[in-house]
Structure 1
Amino acid sequence: MVAKEFYDITIIGGGPVGMFAATYARMRLAKTQIIEILGQLGGQVSALFPAKKIYDIPAFPEITGTELIAHLKQQVEKFEPDIFLNERVESFTQITGGFEIKTSKRTTYSKTIIIATGAGAFEPRKLKVAAADRFEDKQLHYFVKDLKAFSNKEVAIAGGGDSAVDWALELASIAKAVHLIHRRDKFRALESSVLALKETKTILHTPYLITDLSSAQDKLCISLEKPRSAEKKELTVDHLLVNYGFASSSKLLESWALELDHHNIAVNAKNETSIPGVYAIGDIAAQADKLNLMATGFGEAPSVINSALLRIYPEKRQPAHSTQLIKKFEAAQDN
C-alpha cells in the first residue's frame, strides 16, 4: 500500500488572508497548499472590487484591489506553496494523521486545515445564452487574470455594477476600444466611478441584453436586443467580460459539520473551530466584537499557523521575528 502524502497545512481560500497565511506557513517551512474555488488568486478582492481603493492596509496610504493582490501574489510565489485553482473542497474527514480532503478534482491529505474563505464560497453568475459554454476561457471571461491580454484589443463588458464599471475604467487606457453593455439606462456603481467612466472613451450600450454569441472569423460576435423593443444590433469584439455578480452559498459550509454562528464559522480565541485541527481566519471566522477588516485577518494568520505547527510538531520552537524565518527558508532552499 502506498503511504499517504500529507501536507502540514491546507488553506481553503486563496483571497488576501489565505495568500498571506500560505506565505507565513512557507516561511516556517510547512508543507502547504492553497485550494481556491475560483480561477485566480485574490478571492473577492479580485473578483468584486479590483479597481477600488483600499485604505486599511498598513504601510499603504491607499491601494487598489488589483495592486494589493499583485503584491500578495508576488510575495506568496516567492515562498512556493502548492496552489490549486478552479477546485472546490467538497468534504474533509478526520483520519489517522490528519484529514482526508475530497475536492472537485482529487483526494488530498493534510495534518491541519485553515479555512480562509472570506464571506463564503461564491461563483460568478454566468451569461445565460445557448452558445456561452463554447467561448468560456477563450473569448468569454468572468475574471481578468492578466490585464495585458486585453491590450490593444476590442473588449465588451457586460454588467452595470461596481465591478463592471471598475473593469471598464481599468481597461479604458490599454484596450483599443471598450464597450459597456447594461440592461438598464442607469448604472448601479458608485456615482464617482460612473462620472469617471463618462470621461473615458468607453462606448455605452444601454439598455441592451445579450441574446446570442457567435464566431466571426477570429472575433466574437455579440447579438444585442433592447428590452421591450424589436430593436437589435450586432457588436464584434475580441473579448467579452461578464460581470453579472456572484452567487454565494453557505450550503457547502454547512456540509462540513462545523459549528456555525449564523453563516460564519464559530471559533474560539485561538481561531480553533469545533473540529480539532481545523481553524478559521478572516471574515468567515465569527468572534464577538471582531472587526471584519483584511488587517484583522492578516493578524490572525501567523498566530493560527504557529498554533497549527505547534500541534503537529510540539518540539519546535516558535520564531522570534521574521528575519529568523526568512533566513531559515533561504537556507532550506539552498540545501
Structure 2
Amino acid sequence: MSGLPAATGAGPDVSVDLLIIGAGPTGLYSAYYAGFRGMSVAVADALPEVGGQITALYPEKLVHDVAGFTAVRGQDLVDRLAEQAGQSNPVYLLGHGVTDLDDAGEHIVATTDAGTRITAGAVLVCGGIGNFVPRELPVGSDYLGRGLRYFVPRLDELTGQDVVVVGGGDSALDWALSLEPIASSVTVVHRRTRFRAHERTVEQVHSSSVRVLTPYEVEKISGDGSMSEVVVAGPDGDRISLSAQSVVAALGFIADLGPIERWGLELRRRRILVDRTMRTSRERVFAAGDIADHDGKVSLISIGFGEAALAVNHIASLLDPARSLTPGHSSDA
C-alpha cells in the first residue's frame, strides 16, 4: 500500500506498511484489521509472548465485558485474538522493546532494544512501551515470594489456602471471586468503605462467601519462614488477626512510560493524547487502547477494539489517499 515491500521477517531490518507497538488485545485486533485493509504489518512488544497484561498478569481470570462472550478466560481471549490476527500474517517481534521512532520522509524508522530496525509508513501504539510497576503494600515486603504477591498468573497455586486480597478496585474483587471456589477462605481488605470496582462485581462479592473488611488496612504480616498471619487495623484502632498463607496486593500499577517520553508525543495523564482520528501530535504516529487519551476516554478492552479500527481506517487513507476511509462490511469481502 505505502510502496514498501511486504514484511521481510524478524531479521535485522523489517519493512511494513504499519508497525504496531504492543501485542495485547488492542494490538492483536489492530494487526487483524490492518490486514483486512490490505496492509502488511509488524507487531513489536517488549514481552516474550503475545497477550500483554492479560497473559502476564491474569491469564486465568474471566473477562466479562467483551462483546460476544458471557465470560471468557483471559488466555482464551488472547488465543482467539492471535488466531484472528494470524489471517494478516504479521511479523512478530517479541522481546523487542521499541526505543526510538525517527522520521524518514514518508516513513518512520523504529529501533528496538534488540537492534532491529523497522521501516513503516505509519506506527500505531497500543501499549507495550513500558513497564507496569505494582503499587507496593507498605508492610510485609520481606514476605514477597513467601506468600505476598501482586498478581496470580495461576489460580491453582492458591488452592486450599487462606487468602487475603488487599485493594478496592476491579482487579482486587475479580481475584477474590476467582479464588473463592478453590481457596479455603478469602478475605478482602480495603482502606475505604466504598469500592472503585464495577457495581455488579461489588454486589457479587457481597453475595458470596468472601469476607469483606472495610475500612481496614494491613498493619502486619508474620510467620516463621512462610506467611501464616495477617493483622489488619480499623480506623478506631481495633485489630483483627487473620490466618493467611497468601496476600494478593491488588493495589494497582504505576505506568513507567520508558522511552515514550523521548518520542516527541504530546502526553496527558501519563498517556498519549490523540485527536478524533486517534492521531497523535506526530503525523504518522497513532495510538489506541489504554495508552491513548482523549476527552471522554473510557478504558475498556471493547473500547480499544473500536479505537483500533478507527485508527487503522485513517492510517489506510493516509498511506494511500485513493483508498476510502470507509472500509465497507467484512461480510461483503
TM range (shorter): 0.5 to 0.7
- Aligned position for 2:118: 110
For 2:51, the equivalent position in structure 1 comes to 41
Contact 2:12–2:117 (8 Å) recurs in 1:
yes
Structure 1 distance, partners of 2:298, 2:242, is 48
Matching residue within 155, 160, 163 for 2:168: 160
Q: Mapping of 1:93-242 within 5 angstroms? A: 93-94=102-103, 98-102=108-112, 106-112=114-120, 113-117=123-127, 122-129=132-139, 131-132=141-142, 134-135=144-145, 139-183=147-191, 186-189=193-196, 193-204=201-212, 207-212=216-221, 216=225, 219-226=226-233, 229=237, 231=239, 233=241, 235-237=243-245, 239-242=246-249
Question: How many residues end up aligned between the 2 structures?
Answer: 305
Normalising by the residue count of structure 1, what TM-score does the alignment of the two structures yield?
0.64
Moved more, 201-210 or 289-298: 289-298
Measure the CA separation in 1 of the matches of 2:205 and 2:298.
Answer: 32
In structure 2, the residue matched to 1:333 is none
Normalising by the residue count of structure 2, what TM-score does the alignment of the two structures yield?
0.64
Shift of 1:25: 4.8
Q: Are the structure 2 counterparts of residues 188 and 291 from structure 1 closer, same or farther at C-alpha, using a change threshold of 3 Å?
A: closer
Letter in 2 for 1:16: P
Code of the residue aligned with 1:240 in structure 2: it is: V
Distance 1:189 1:51, change over 3 A: farther
Distance 1:181 1:302, change over 3 A: closer
- Tell me, in whole angstroms, the C-alpha distance in 2 between the residues paired with 1:7 and 1:214: 56
Find the residue that maps to 2:228 and give its secondary structure.
strand
Distance 1:187 1:150, change over 3 A: farther
Q: Judging by fraction of residues, say which structure has more helix.
A: 1
Measure the CA separation in 1 of the matches of 2:138 and 2:229: 13
Task: Please state how far the C-alpha of 1:195 moved relative to its aligned partner.
Answer: 4.5
Q: Is the 8 A contact 1:58 1:295 kept in 2?
A: yes
Q: Which runs of 5+ in 2 are unaligned?
A: 1-10
Change (3 A) 1:202 1:230: closer
Inter-partner Cα distance in structure 2 for 1:121 and 1:36: 9
CA deviation profile, 1:169-220 (whole Å, cap 9, x unmatched): 2221233332333446x3525565444324333245563415346564xx53
Distance 2:151 2:50 in 1: 8
Aligned to 2:78: 73
CA distance in 1 between partners of 2:298 and 2:191 (Å): 36
> Which of 4, 8, 17 is 2:26 aligned to?
17
Q: CA RMSD in A?
A: 4.9
Q: Unmatched 5+ residue regions in structure 1?
A: 326-335
Is contact 1:111–1:277 with CA below 8 Å preserved after alignment? no
